[in-house]
Amino acid sequence: METVIVEVTPLLVPVKKACTIIGRGQSALYELIGAGKIRAVKSDSRTLIVVESLREYAAKLEADHPAKVAPPRRRKPQHLREAANA
């Protein structure tokens, strides 16, 4: 008998997991929900985050605010710097 493993992508995740997914804290997540940037639903008393809205938020961040990182500095190897100072 073969074992079949099926991966399921969640549609909704709890707040703590959503925080982990986007790398932000709970306060920031609730602010994003309040601002309408991330969608949430209630299931009984639990707040669940719509995973697709996390993807949309990340894509919009990437488009609107790309990171500008300076290229690494090129330094001479230590022994050449010491030879130049000697």
**How do residues 21-54 score in pLDDT, each as one tens digit?**
999 999 999 999 999 999 999 999 999 999 999 9
In a domain, 5, yes or no: no
Domain annotation covers residue 45: yes
Give the count of beta carbons closer than 10 Å to the beta carbon of residue 52: 12
For the ranges 8-12, 45-49, 75-79, the lowest mean pLDDT is seen at: 75-79
Q: What CATH number did the domain enclosing 34 receive?
A: 1.10.238
**What CA–CA distance (Å, rounded) separates 57 from 60?**
5
Asked if the structure places residue 6 within a domain, the reply is no
Band (83; pLDDT cuts 50, 70, 90): confident
Could you tell me the residue range of the domain that residue 23 belongs to? 12-66
d(CA 65, CA 19): 20
Stated pTM of the model? 0.71
pLDDT at 68: 86
